[in-house]
A and B are shown apart, each in its own frame.
Chain A
Amino acid sequence: MELLLLLALLDGLAYAAQLFMVAVGLTLVFGVLKILNVAHGSLFAIGAYSASTLAALAGTPWLSLLALALAALAVGAIAGPSIERGLLARIYDKEQVLQLLLTFALFMILEDVQKLVWGVQPVFEDAPVRALGPVVVGGIVYTAYQLILLPGLAVVCLLFLVWFLRRTVTGRMILAVAHDREAAEAIGIDSRRIYLLAFTIGAGLAALGGALAAPTTSLVPGVGVQTIVLSFAVVATAGLGQIEGAAATALLVGLGRSFAVYFAPELEVVVPYLLMVIVLVLRPSGLFGGRELRRI
C-alpha cells in the first residue's frame, strides 16, 4: 500500500510538471493583458511539432535536448511578437468577448496550419528521453526524463519567474502594469512594450511546454485542443494571474488525477473540473486570487 501511494505520488508529480509548464504561460498572459488566450494550446502544439522536427535533425541524443529549448525559443520569439503586434494590439480597447474570440479565431486557423505543415501522421521523436535513460523506483522502471528532468525544469521555471517578476526592474514593471495599467503609465512605464514582452514570454512558455512534452508523446492533429481546456481549468482554479497558484493547482490536479487512476479510474477525466468547481465554491476568486474591487 505504501508503495502504491508512493507510485501514485510520483506519477502525479510528473504529470503536474507538464501541466504547470502549459498553465503558467496562460496565467501570465491573462494576468498582464487580461486576455484569456485560446490559441495558447496552438502555440503549445506548434512548439511541440517544431521541437520534434529540430530534435530529429540534431543527430546526437544530447544535442536533441538542446534542440527542444531552441525550438521553444524560436517559436516564442517569432509567434509572440507577430501575434501581439499584428492582432492583439488592435483590440485592447474592445470588449473582453471580442478579445477572447480573436484568440479563438487564431486557434482555428493555427489548427489547420499545423496540419498543412506537419501532416496528419503522428510525429514522434524520443531521442531526448533515450538520452537520459531509465530510473528504477521500488522495482518500477521510470524514465529519468519524466521523473526527474521535467519536474526539475518546472521548479526552475517557477523559481526563475518569481525571481524575474519580483526582483528585476523589468519584472516589477510587468507586475505594475498587471496591477494597474493606468497608474503604471502615469509613472512612465511604456505599457505597450510590457504587453509585448509579457505576451512573448507567455508564448515562449507555451512553446516550451509543448517542446518538453514532445519527446514523451505522439503529436497528432488536435493535440492542442486537449491542452487548452485543461490549462484553463488549472488557471481558473488557481486564481487568474497567479504563478505560484498555477504551480500549486497543477500539483493538486496532477496528484488528483493519478490517485483517481489508482483508486477510482472512472473519475480521472472529471478530476480537474470537479476540483475547479469545489475551489470556486469555497473561494470565488480561485485558490490564490485576491478579491477584485468592484468598479463603480
Chain B
Amino acid sequence: MPLRLAFAVGFLALALLAALQPWLRFVLTLALATGLAVLGIMMLLRAGQVSFGHALYVAVGAYTIAFARPQLDDVLLLLAAAVLAAVVAGILVGLFVSRYRDIFFGMLNLAFSMVVYSLLEKLYWLTRGTDGIRVARPRLFGVALEGARYEWALFALALVCVAIAAALVARYLRAPAGEALSALKTRETRLEFAGVSARRVLFQAYVVSAGLAGLGGGITALATLHVTPLLVYWTHSGELVFVAILGGTANVLGPFLGAVVFELVRVHAAAAFPDAWQMILGLVLLGIVLLAARGLVGLLEELGRWWGRRV
C-alpha cells in the first residue's frame, strides 16, 4: 500500500517540521485544513467539474463555529456543527447546481459564493462585516488548553481528520459511485444509458465535497480564532482550485501535498519578496500548468518510475 506509506511518511515529516519550527505548527494546520477543502474540489475535478466557489463551504464551516461558539465549548462538537452546516448548505446549493455542467457549474458556484460574501459584509449587525468575529478558544474533551498545547492538539486533530477523510474518499473513489464520477467526465450519456443518474452522482459528490470544505473551514476557524468574509472571496476559491492542480488529482495524497507546498511557498515568497509574492505564486502555477499538468503527485510518480528503472 504505497499510498498509506506515503501518508505515514508525510505525517511524520509534518510533525517533525512542526516540532522544529514552532511557527509552522499553525501554518501547517491551516495547510491541512485547506487540503481537506481541496480534497472535495478534487472529487469534483474527477467528474470534470470545476467549482469556482467552494470557499463558500469553507466560510460556512468557519462562520458556523464563530456563531455557535458562545453556546458550544468543545472542539469536536464545534467541528461537527461546522460539517453539518456545510453539508446542509451543500445540499441546498447542490440540488440546484448539479443540473449544470462545465463553465455554468463553475460560474454558478462563483455566484453563490459572491452572494454569501456580500451578505457577510452587508449584515454588519450580525457578522461585524470585514472586522470579522472573534472565536474564544474552546476546550478539547473538557480540558482548557493554552498556547502551544492548543496548537499541538489542533495540529494532531487536523492530522486525524486528514487520515480519516483521505481513507474514506479513497474508498469512495474506488466504489461504483466513484467510478461513475470519472465516467461522468468522459461519457456522461453512456452513464445514463446504463441507468445511473448523472445528476445524482454529481450531487452526492458535491455534498461530500461541501462537507469536507466545511471541516476544513472549521479547523481554520479553530486555528485562527478569528473569521472574516475574506474566507469566501472568489480569489480564495481560485486558490483552492490552484492547490488541487498543484497537488494533482491522481490520488488522495495530491490535495494535501499541494496544500502544504502552497502554504510553504507562499510564506517564504512573502518573507523574501513582500512586494511581489503574488507574482511568485503565479509563476509556480504557470510552471505546473505548462510543464507538469499532473501536479506534484504526477511528478512523484514519474520520479518513482525513473527510480524503478534505475534500480
A/B contact in complex, CB under 8 angstroms: yes
Q: How far is the CB of B107 from chain A (nearest CB, A)?
A: 4
With known contacts A229-B114, A233-B111, A269-B122, A284–B242 Cβ distance under 8 A: no
Query: In the complex, what residues of B have CB within 8 A of residue A291's CB?
Result: none
Contact of A91 among B45, B122, B285, B289 (CB under 8 A): B289
For chain B residues 40-74, which have a beta carbon within 8 Å of chain A? 45, 48, 50, 52
Task: Check if A109 sits within 8 Å of B286, measured CB to CB.
Answer: yes
With known contacts A100-B50, A116-B276, A90–B290 Cβ distance under 8 A: yes
Q: How far is the CB of A183 from chain B (nearest CB, A)?
A: 21
Query: In the complex, what residues of B have CB within 8 A of residue A17's CB?
Result: none
The chain A residue with its CB closest to the CB of B276 is A112
Give complex CA distance A107, B293 in Å: 19
Query: In the complex, what residues of A have CB within 8 A of residue B276's CB?
Result: 112, 115-116
Task: Describe A's contact surface by its main secondary structure.
Answer: helix
In the complex, whether B99 has a CB less than 8 A from a CB of chain A is yes
In the complex, whether A266 has a CB less than 8 A from a CB of chain B is yes
Give complex CA distance A274, B112 in Å: 9
Contact of A112 among B110, B189, B241, B279 (CB under 8 A): B279
Mask of B72-102 contacts with A, CB within 8 angstroms, 1/0: 0000000000000000000000001001101
Contact of A106 among B99, B110, B286 (CB under 8 A): B286
Query: In the complex, what residues of A have CB within 8 A of residue B102's CB?
Result: 96
In the complex, whether B27 has a CB less than 8 A from a CB of chain A is no
The chain B residue with its CB closest to the CB of A286 is B104
Task: Describe B's contact surface by its main secondary structure.
Answer: helix
For chain B residues 255-311, which have a beta carbon within 8 Å of chain A? 275-276, 278-279, 281-283, 285-286, 289-290, 293
Task: Check if B115 sits within 8 Å of A98, measured CB to CB.
Answer: no
Mask of A214-243 contacts with B, CB within 8 angstroms, 1/0: 000000000001000100110010001000
Contact of B245 among A36, A101, A277 (CB under 8 A): A101
Task: Check if A105 sits within 8 Å of B118, measured CB to CB.
Answer: no
Q: How far is the CB of B101 from chain A (nearest CB, A)?
A: 9
Task: Check if B189 sits within 8 Å of A295, measured CB to CB.
Answer: yes
With known contacts A109-B283, A233-B107, A225–B235 Cβ distance under 8 A: yes
With known contacts A295-B189, A296-B189, A276–B107 Cβ distance under 8 A: yes
Between A and B, 11 residue pairs with Cβ closer than 8 Å are: A94-B293, A107-B282, A108-B285, A229-B234, A232-B107, A232-B110, A236-B104, A236-B111, A270-B119, A294-B189, A296-B190
- Excluding A108-B285, A273-B111, A280-B104, 15 further A-B contacts by CB distance (< 8 Å) are A91-B290, A96-B102, A98-B289, A105-B285, A105-B286, A105-B289, A116-B275, A229-B234, A233-B107, A233-B110, A236-B111, A273-B112, A276-B108, A295-B189, A296-B190
Q: Give me the 8 closest cross-chain CB pairs, A-B, nearest first.
A: A108-B282, A105-B285, A109-B282, A112-B279, A236-B107, A105-B286, A273-B111, A269-B118
